[in-house]
Amino acid sequence: MSLPVVAIVGRPNVGKSTIFNRLAGERIAIVEDQPGITRDRIYSRSEWNGREFHLIDTGGLEFGEQDEMMDHIRNQAELAIEEADVIVFVVDGRQGITGTDEEVARMLHRTNKPVIVMANKIDDIKYADNVYEFYQLGFEHVIAVSSIHGTGTGDLLDEVVRHFPEPSEEEYDEDTIRVCLIGRPNAGKSSLVNALLGEERVIVSPVAGTTRDAVDTPFEFEGQSYVLIDTAGIRKRGKVYESVEKYSVLRAMKAIERSDVCLIVIDGERGIAEQDKRIAGYAHEAGKASVFVINKWDAVEKDEKTMDRFKRKIRDEFQFMHYAPILFVSAKTKKRVHQILPMVSEVAEQHAMRVPTSVLNQVIQDAMVTTPPPSEKGRRFRVQYVTQVAVKPPAFVLFVNDPELSHFSYLRFLENQLRQAFPFQGTPLRIIMRKKNKS
């Protein structure tokens, strides 16, 4: 199920990024201190009153020549509203309505989507009456906010959440494995879909960025139902593509949420780029099972050690995804493509695996006996009880004597012990600590 999307739009210098950062900072999330994960500041997952949603900042609408202004506004606004379920239209509550505000308002009216006008910079009682002017823009909801001080943000979020669409029912049954292909443009994702299906079901083009929308393709293989979700390629941010490609990234993120298994497609010929780590980081943080698929391996000049060197580079560059298996394939020649779906089924099974509580506790207690945690100021970290609380991904709660005595390296050791005891290939694990009550 995809989360609702909230887009923040408006002209320059009205405080879009400030309100974005404030709303993003209020989200409740697990932050993992692991190397290699990079984050793009224009996206965030946020939460209000139990409803999670995507937050997207359209960025500063920095215009060049005057005659280009309307084109820039149109491109930015149309792309933002195309993806959004709710739009927050930020205006300057002190300056009043400008011609640019009116142009943006006209475009938003044509969308028939919920629009909430946020009159920003109302941080003094003397500006409070300025809010009424903005009703001239023709929207029902105008809310006074000071993004710097945070006043009014609760009212804003209440109104935003009220306009979310009702959560839709998942269109596939629970036995269907949903597979998402993600990667940089022109890495061969659409070609892999065609190779897997054995038929031309999606457009394949050598022009980077051809696929704009996610395309679902249900099919069966050896009695197992699958859905392939081919997403728009994720391009590194740059001046030329920034306005378009940021929304392609959002589409990929939404597809990741709907998937069980992510195939992280890397162009073997071009090698690993920083953007590949960003893409993989999205899948890891979403808790999805993952497989690295190195495509175009037929085009790589190689000797008997080339594959091992590439594997080592993957492990070095993606340390946070040490659990993900690696496949070397060619969508063009179909070499090793037959290995993909069996691997997908295997990691999907591990992603959904539940371990009996008694066995789980035995593994953790044995690990702590053979390798006790270090003591700190005469006190030693102890795990008194462990239970699995979720699957997809497997999540474990450790009831401990004092969470502050734990160390990241020891928690990693316990995770490794779980991986040695149980076949958790291809899936991240979530470990949560709770202090056990003495009673």
Q: Which residues are annotated as a binding site for GTP?
A: 10-17, 57-61, 120-123, 183-190, 230-234, 295-298
DSSP 71-117: HHHHHHHHHHHHH-SEEEEEEETTT---HHHHHHHHHHHTTTS-EEE
The pair of structure tokens assigned to 228 is 């392939």
User: Binding site residues, as ranges?
Assistant: 10-17, 57-61, 120-123, 183-190, 230-234, 295-298
For residue 296, with 0-12 CB atoms within 10 Å meaning exposed, 13-18 middle and 19 or more buried, which class applies? buried
List CB contacts of 298: < 8 A, sequence separation 6 or more.
330, 332, 333, 335
Reply yes or no: is the peptide bond before residue 394 cis, omega within 30 of 0. no
431 CA to centre of own chain: 20
User: Tokens standing for 303?
Assistant: 């000797």
- For residues 306 and 204, give the distance between their C-alpha atoms in angstroms, rounded to a whole number: 28
Helix (H) or strand (E) holding 65: none
The Cα 433–Cα 29 span in angstroms is 14
